[in-house]
Amino acid sequence: MNTPHVVVVMGVAGTGKTTIGPLLAARLGVPYAEGDDFHPQSNIAKMSAGTPLTDDDRWPWLDAIGDWAQGRAGLGGVVSCSALKRSYRDRLRAAAPGVVFVHLTGDRALVEDRMSHRQGHFMPTALLDSQFATLQPLEPDEAGVAVNVTGSPEKITERAATALASLSGPTA
């Protein structure tokens, strides 16, 4: 049997990371961690004040997620993290070399529609624009799969699990 994957579910805001992550973890029989929970207090204070995070703010957050992922090496796990830039993913891989990415992809109209139905979360249009502008999709040398987010969460989870199964397992 293949070594279980440690998966980072990535993508712009509203693509369903928090929705699909736990479902995928359950499907794979591994624990799930919510990436937003790894922010240091200083980042939480900034975000609460509506101040955008800088990349310098993000490194300790990414390192904490990377530490969790590395702790799951050989055991399997799923963690959500937008990981929009290649440099963020490089940072995660520096801590956890075996991670694989599931990039949840959807067009702008679909994501905006889903965001507009989300309870208790207001996302200004400009913020979604900046998310799409910042996004650097997976490059060919990065371990991972892109999964389209049309359809139900169950369908997307199945699509992700099938795509992951086509990747060879980590060698660690």
Ligand X SMILES: Nc1ncnc2c1ncn2[C@@H]1O[C@H](COP(=O)(O)OP(=O)(O)OP(=O)(O)O)[C@@H](O)[C@H]1O
Where do contacts with Mg ion occur on this chain (CB under 5 A)?
A: 17-18
**Dist. CA 16–CA 12, nearest whole Å:** 9
Which of 73/127 has CB closer to ligand X?
A: 127
Determine, following the binding rule CB under 6 A, whether residue 160 of this chain makes contact with ligand X.
Answer: no
The residue number with the shortest CB distance to Mg ion is 18
**Residues near 36 by beta carbon (within 8 Å), at least 6 away in sequence:** 18, 80
Which of 98/131 has CB closer to ligand X?
A: 131
**Degrees (nearest 5) of the Cα angle 42, 45, 47?**
110
How far is the CA of 162 from the CAs of 59, 155, 159, in angstroms?
31, 11, 5
CB atoms within 10 A of CB 86: 13
Q: Which stretch binds ligand X (CB under 6 A): 37-45, 66-74, 109-117, 158-166?
A: 109-117
Determine, following the binding rule CB under 6 A, whether residue 18 of this chain makes contact with ligand X.
Answer: yes
Sites of contact with ligand X (CB under 6 A): 11, 13-19, 82, 114-115, 117-118, 149, 152-153, 156
